[in-house]
A and B are shown apart, each in its own frame.
Chain A
Amino acid sequence: MPNRRCWNCQSPIGQKETFCKACAKIQPFIETIDYFTCLGLERFLQIDLKELEKRFYRLSRQFHPDFHYGKDETEKNISLENSAFLNKAYRTLRDPVLRVEYLIHLEEGGRNGIAAKVPQEFLEEIFGLQETVDEFRSAMDLEIKEKLSGKLQESLKVLEDRQSDQEKRLFELFGHWDQVAGNPDRSANQQHGSSLIHEMREILSYRTYFRNMIQDIQDLLQGHTKRREVRH
């Protein structure tokens, strides 16, 4: 790591420092900073949201442009950029799904994207559901519509249950990951770590299908009930 120096007084400063000890001026984040480091956290997936908020508020008070208004242009710009980065870090880490997606991105680099392949039979299942949805949309006959609506309601229930199972598994994996990440002997855990990442990626891919399908069916059924209410 090259030595970092204060842009103002040229005193040496540490990699994580955001204020110069000598002249007290605000310093930009280093280029390679990640959201976890920004908020002073290890790369763990289980995060105490209260603690996270506390850190976010504390750092905001250091960086926010409101508290750098009377200063010179360089300081104002750094405060603006640091705040913007901090806001993005907080927004990502407070949401468990965005958090794990970000962690996978950090661990695997940008090369694979988040989406993993899902099995063919799962895709066929989704296509089947999509057909029922389309059928329901185009159905004119009230009786047929009612029947399809019942069928969709059942499917919705199944989808929601499966999604919540998946979510439970995902949060379990969060715990496993944190154990691995917390182990000082990283090389011994590397394989375990990447198999965890693999499984989490899989769940995230399923999740996208589940979420979209659930949303579609919910909207459709809601619209249906609303129209029925209007008619009555």
Chain B
Amino acid sequence: MIRPSSKVVGIDLGTTNSLVAYMEGHEPTVIASQDGRRLVPSVVSFGEGGILVGDAAKARLILNPKQTVYSIKRLMGKGIADLKDEVQLIPFQLVETRPGVVDVKIGESVYTPPEISALILKELKKRAEAFLGTEISQAVITVPAYFNDSQRQATKDAGRIAGLEVLRIVNEPTAASLAYGLQKKKEGVIAIYDLGGGTFDISILKVKEGTFEVLSTNGNTHLGGDDIDQRIMKVLLQDMTRKLGHSLDHTPELLQMVRMEAERAKCRLSFEEQTDMVIPTSKSSIEFRRAMTRTELEELIGDIIEKTLGPCRQALEDARLRPQDIDEVVLVGGSTRIPMLRREVEALFGRPAHCELNPEEVVALGAAIQADILSGGIKDMLLLDVTPLSLGIETLGGVMSVLISRNTTIPATAKELFTTSVDGQTTVDIHVLQGERELVKDNRSLARFLLKDIDPMPAGAPRIEVTFLIDANGILKVMAKELRSGKEQSIEVKPTYGLTEAEVERMIEESYQFAESDVRQRMLIEFRVEADSIIMHTEKALRDGRDLMGEEEISQIQKALEELKVARGGEDHNLIRERIKQLDEVTHHLAELMMERVVKTTLKGKKLG
């Protein structure tokens, strides 16, 4: 249920930056921090002083490269094998504790990608709460349209770990289209080209009288600005090695410095024809300098841009449209600022591309609109999205049999009959897959379902109807029914990748513990500050008011003072509070005497005056 008193926010959980937005009346609005920053860098740093997120964490990318995690979105629902080309360019350590699922290792601790994403979500939640002055417990979160079931589930898990009920997972290009539809009143057939820090999506929609019908979508969940940065990085590292000798150590610090300079140079080359990259080197005190022209960059990344055009053509074909049938082309995502990309996209569709709304904010705005629709605010906008990948089951011979094909409008459903192959068989194993290839091994395994408690019957006699349902989040649900008895079957889900329900529960619990230790940390700091101030004042009072007290009282105060100093040096905020109270009690008499003296002096002063 939607709690009427609380606001539902829209969150764009990006590869490079994340944002939170809400509906201010009829206007979707990005929530800025108190100092006016709108983007939260999607960076998390695990330092001795605790966990930092956003700008504070980004500042530690070079200082603490091994403990500072960036672009976690690219690891969602992935295994190390999926990342082999770039592992050597990532400064923090990746491990695979469960087969096919990559985790991040910081010191002795292992964190799953959803846990790290949850820390970013918590930061956004905090920001929204500070701004709106109310608790935020529900959100709409966006994901790349081409995210598969595991990646969507991982995002939903991240929300839960962060203490957010995820009302809806919305596709990023679709969210962008909502923002354009609401704010720019765009109608007709629209192509949304979304190239972000780590992912690429193309979606083609028909927008008509407030209905947003996605006709087709395609993309690549591992293609974005990060890949462009890596190309520049490789050139820089090669040239540095050549110039500074083969002894050049690829330390995490160096990798991070090179990466950040590559990213900055890429951004500058969208506005300048040529730029200088400068890397300070630790061994020699000289700097490494290298110039790069826009033409050189374009040669380096031409194939990356080309890689986005294939999915565009496929999306057109799936929507049964030709480029000239598209009325508007809209660019979304920071990477679409690259002039070459713009040229190529405009050439493909044969028309100018638009980006009237800030390409870095438009997705969050759309998420806020979807949040408002779900809360019953906006009633005249209808969003009909599709599932990006075909869903099927394994059949004999290791072949995938498609039940719901890609670009089917969601919610979508398919029913399939299953039976037993051996007399008295009481369970049936079903393997669910997602992807476009013929063979099981080429597609992604989503889960295995076990139909249990089938009454023992001759082979082939049970008739179990299994319903596969993709909900409006693009996430699969499965139900089963024995048709002879009408009995609902129990199903045991074993997700192939990602987290089990129990693991998510444990992480939610741990996150509360984190929260508790966060509170403890804050109390400790506050009581220490208070203790310092009391110690200072007491020492002054002891000097100034020594003549007012007897020896015994003085030594009592001194003892309490020493005890507070000891407690202040410790970690127990409760003890500090206790000692402050104690010192307060024994100095009570002294404080009174001092006050009396002040009053007398003042009166005397008055008489004199």
Interface residues of A (CB under 8 A from B): 57, 60-61, 64-67, 69-70, 80-81, 83-85, 87-88, 90-91
Q: Indicate whether B554 reaches chain A with its CB closer than 8 angstroms.
A: no
**Given A69-B2, A87-B408: A81 touches B384 (CB 8 Å cut-off):** no
Q: Are B413 and A57 in contact, with the CB atoms below 8 A?
A: no
Q: Are B1 and A57 in contact, with the CB atoms below 8 A?
A: no
Q: Which residues of A contact B150 (CB under 8 A)?
A: none
Q: Are B374 and A69 in contact, with the CB atoms below 8 A?
A: yes
Q: Which residues of A contact B412 (CB under 8 A)?
A: 84, 87-88
Shortest distance in angstroms between B439's beta carbon and chain A's nearest beta carbon? 19
Can you list, as one digit per residue, whether each of B509-536 has a CB less than 8 Å from chain A (1) or not (0)?
A: 0000000000000000000000000000
Measured CB to CB, the nearest residue on chain A to B3 is A70
Within 182-226 of B, Cβ neighbours of A (below 8 Å) are at 208-209, 211, 213
Q: Which residues of B contact A60 (CB under 8 A)?
A: 211, 382, 384
- Known pairs A64-B472, A66-B168 / 15 extra A-B pairs, C-beta < 8 Å: A57-B211, A60-B211, A64-B382, A66-B373, A69-B374, A69-B375, A69-B376, A80-B411, A81-B411, A81-B413, A85-B413, A87-B408, A87-B410, A87-B411, A88-B412
Q: Which residues of A contact B472 (CB under 8 A)?
A: 64-66, 80, 83
Measured CB to CB, the nearest residue on chain A to B386 is A87
Q: Are B384 and A70 in contact, with the CB atoms below 8 A?
A: no
Q: Which residues of A contact B409 (CB under 8 A)?
A: 87, 90-91
Q: How far is the CA of A57 from the CA of B209 in the complex (A)?
A: 10
**Given A60-B211, A60-B384: A66 touches B374 (CB 8 Å cut-off):** yes
Count CB-based A-B contacts (< 8 Å): 58
Pick from B375, B376, B408, B471: contact of A65, CB under 8 Å: B471
Q: Indicate whether B90 reaches chain A with its CB closer than 8 angstroms.
A: no
Measured CB to CB, the nearest residue on chain A to B477 is A80
Q: Are B383 and A66 in contact, with the CB atoms below 8 A?
A: yes
Q: How far is the CA of A57 from the CA of B210 in the complex (A)?
A: 10
Within 399-436 of B, Cβ neighbours of A (below 8 Å) are at 408-413
Q: How far is the CA of A111 from the CA of B157 in the complex (A)?
A: 45
Shortest distance in angstroms between B466's beta carbon and chain A's nearest beta carbon? 15
Q: Indicate whether B167 reaches chain A with its CB closer than 8 angstroms.
A: yes
Q: Which residues of B contact A69 (CB under 8 A)?
A: 2, 167, 374-376
**Given A57-B382, A60-B211, A65-B472: A70 touches B411 (CB 8 Å cut-off):** no
Q: How far is the CA of A88 from the CA of B469 in the complex (A)?
A: 12
Q: Which residues of B contact A84 (CB under 8 A)?
A: 410-413, 469
Shortest distance in angstroms between B60's beta carbon and chain A's nearest beta carbon? 40
Within 122-175 of B, Cβ neighbours of A (below 8 Å) are at 167-168
Chain B contact residue count (CB 8 A cutoff) = 25
Interface residues of B (CB under 8 A from A): 1-2, 167-168, 208-209, 211, 213, 373-376, 379, 382-384, 408-413, 469, 471-472
Measured CB to CB, the nearest residue on chain B to A64 is B382
Measured CB to CB, the nearest residue on chain A to B320 is A95
Q: How far is the CA of A48 from the CA of B557 in the complex (A)?
A: 94
Q: Are B408 and A91 in contact, with the CB atoms below 8 A?
A: yes
**Given A70-B2, A81-B413, A83-B411: A61 touches B382 (CB 8 Å cut-off):** yes
Q: How far is the CA of A126 from the CA of B208 in the complex (A)?
A: 45
**Given A57-B211, A88-B413: A70 touches B469 (CB 8 Å cut-off):** no
Q: How far is the CA of A127 from the CA of B376 in the complex (A)?
A: 60
Shortest distance in angstroms between B131's beta carbon and chain A's nearest beta carbon? 24
Q: Are A66 and B382 in contact, with the CB atoms below 8 A?
A: yes
Q: How far is the CA of A208 from the CA of B374 in the complex (A)?
A: 44
Q: Which residues of A contact B2 (CB under 8 A)?
A: 69-70
Shortest distance in angstroms between B204's beta carbon and chain A's nearest beta carbon? 16
Measured CB to CB, the nearest residue on chain B to A79 is B411
Pick from B167, B208, B384, B469: contact of A80, CB under 8 Å: B469
Q: Which residues of A contact B374 (CB under 8 A)?
A: 66, 69
Q: How far is the CA of A60 from the CA of B409 in the complex (A)?
A: 11
Question: Can you list 23 A-B pairs with a CB-CB distance of less than 8 A?
Answer: A57-B211, A60-B211, A60-B382, A60-B384, A61-B382, A64-B382, A65-B471, A66-B373, A66-B472, A67-B379, A69-B2, A69-B375, A69-B376, A80-B411, A80-B469, A81-B411, A81-B469, A84-B412, A84-B413, A87-B412, A90-B409, A91-B408, A91-B409
Shortest distance in angstroms between B528's beta carbon and chain A's nearest beta carbon? 46
Shortest distance in angstroms between B468's beta carbon and chain A's nearest beta carbon? 10
Q: Are B471 and A80 in contact, with the CB atoms below 8 A?
A: yes
Q: How far is the CA of A65 from the CA of B376 in the complex (A)?
A: 12
Measured CB to CB, the nearest residue on chain A to B383 is A66
Q: Which residues of B contact A67 (CB under 8 A)?
A: 379
Q: Which residues of A contact B413 (CB under 8 A)?
A: 81, 84-85, 88
Interface centre among A83, A84, A87 (most CB of B within 10 A): A84
Q: Which residues of A contact B168 (CB under 8 A)?
A: 66
Measured CB to CB, the nearest residue on chain B to A65 is B472
Q: Which residues of B contact A64 (CB under 8 A)?
A: 382, 384, 472
Q: Which 6 A-B pairs have the closest CB atoms?
A: A84-B413, A84-B411, A87-B409, A69-B374, A70-B2, A65-B472
Q: Which residues of B contact A57 (CB under 8 A)?
A: 208-209, 211, 213, 382
**Given A57-B211, A60-B211: A65 touches B383 (CB 8 Å cut-off):** no
Q: Which residues of A contact B411 (CB under 8 A)?
A: 65, 80-81, 83-84, 87
Measured CB to CB, the nearest residue on chain A to B370 is A66
Shortest distance in angstroms between B81's beta carbon and chain A's nearest beta carbon? 30
Q: Which residues of B contact A66 (CB under 8 A)?
A: 168, 373-374, 382-383, 472
Shortest distance in angstroms between B412's beta carbon and chain A's nearest beta carbon? 6
Shortest distance in angstroms between B224's beta carbon and chain A's nearest beta carbon? 29
Q: Which residues of A contact B211 (CB under 8 A)?
A: 57, 60-61
Measured CB to CB, the nearest residue on chain A to B378 is A66
Q: Which residues of B contact A81 (CB under 8 A)?
A: 411, 413, 469
